[in-house]
Structure 1
């Protein structure tokens, strides 16, 4: 009974601390606006308001194809920003302040993961809601699977944000990380179709695996090229291997940078 009460108290404390972090986020209106409204605006401009939006990709339309890409980009940006901010705060004194409280390292980590997840999920849901209201068409199962994959594929980029914040422990690190994500998203084919040459290069970049896996239930691995043609389907193991390798690279970078700082 005592162990149960103690475990319950720890969970309650963790959730209260996570709630405190989320309350701080709710007061940061500029961050919320750009993390949610910018991807929605990009989806509307490049997806919902385009004449090619009704073109078909298997059982879905191009509007949905663009929606999934913008939702993933929104989730990645949210995860990078949240993780980078947390890492920067820990390095500039906030972590030492928390060490004086009854919170354990595991509780702090759990609370941080909740904050990162919320920062990733909110913009993804916002883009999907906009898509549902503006003509995105997919089978019901594809709606659910791409939404879940967009959330899962955003998480490894939290490590990417932590790596930047560890390497450059200043406020600028979060901006640099978020800006670099734009380049990665372009090379990963999130913003526009690529030429065959750029697509060959893009397959080795971090965003390719996340983008291709998220859209796989819709496209079966087919890539759209800049000339309007569709490529042969990429085997499923290509994006899977990409995600595994880059997640390991991000994790190793975080560990090495933290060891170096110590």
Structure 2
């Protein structure tokens, strides 16, 4: 792997301050507003508290925003001629994909790290295993959504691809039970949307499959195979 190429890609990504804001700062702000600052933040939620539950949700949203953006950018670059330039070098397609994947995971780690650190200092609490397993699930699961960004890049063939992919994630986050707890018909629909399995799997070390409605009342537990199947599909 060419570390120079990875370093250049990371510097180019972090020079885009607007993109960094939406990837890291905005999800962290959401956590502080909708999680840490709420009166119910310290209430118990499975193997942690509500603040931790919301912390994981916002970290997941920030991570998929990051990987989707990198995937979309990669597709646009290849179609706009950057691929032909790279074809003049000894760089193989496998190496290019590996380096883009590395960049995506590093960028995704930024909102995860920031929000988890904020969680430590703002009252998020839970079992040590829940902290570790949730962070790993958020990071690894986010890698899937680089393909989601790639689809938009191939469809739009312009810089608008990244914006379209990011904008659609906001809608999918609402439908995927990330921003507000869903119940009834909406929850049933949510289980067929892309982000549902990802965030449910990330929360599983805390909730162990227990769902809650908008009033905070517990719903029937969900088996682990449901979020795994959703993410796999």
TM range (shorter): over 0.9
Unpaired segments of 5 or more residues in structure 1?
Answer: 1-10, 246-262
> Deviation above 2 Å: which 4+ runs of structure 1?
none
2:222 paired with 1:230:
no
2:232 corresponding residue in structure 1: 244
Q: 1:228, CA displacement in angstroms? A: 2.5
In our comparison, the structure showing a higher alpha carbon Rg is: 1
Q: 1:103, CA displacement in angstroms? A: 1.2
1:7 corresponding residue in structure 2: none
Contact map agreement 1:195 1:227 (CA 8 A) in 2: no
Q: 1:54, CA displacement in angstroms? A: 1.0
2:188 paired with 1:179:
no
CA distance in 2, matches of 1:86, 1:121: 19
1:106 corresponding residue in structure 2: 94
Unpaired segments of 5 or more residues in structure 2?
Answer: none
**Backbone CA RMSD of aligned residues:** 1.0
Q: 1:171, CA displacement in angstroms? A: 0.9
1:260 corresponding residue in structure 2: none
Q: How does 1:9-28 map to 2 (within 5 A)?
A: 11=1, 14-28=2-16
**CA deviation string 1:205-228 (max 9, x = no partner):** 111100111100100111111232
- Of 143, 149, 156, 1:161 maps to 149
TM-score (norm 2): 0.97
Task: Number of aligned residue pairs: give it.
Answer: 233
CA distance in 2, matches of 1:54, 1:17: 44
Q: How does 1:196-211 map to 2 (within 5 A)?
A: 196-211=184-199
Q: How does 1:14-93 map to 2 (within 5 A)?
A: 14-93=2-81
TM-score (norm 1): 0.86
Q: 1:41, CA displacement in angstroms? A: 0.2
Using CA pairs under 8 Å that are at least 6 residues apart, name the structure with larger relative contact order, 1 or 2. 2
Q: 1:66, CA displacement in angstroms? A: 0.2
- Of 208, 218, 227, 1:220 maps to 208
CA distance in 1, matches of 2:21, 2:61: 15
Contact map agreement 2:62 2:111 (CA 8 A) in 1: yes
CA distance in 2, matches of 1:27, 1:166: 24
**CA deviation string 1:194-214 (max 9, x = no partner):** 131100110111111001111
CA distance in 2, matches of 1:186, 1:209: 13
Q: 1:25, CA displacement in angstroms? A: 1.6
Tell me the SS of whatever aligns to 1:51.
coil
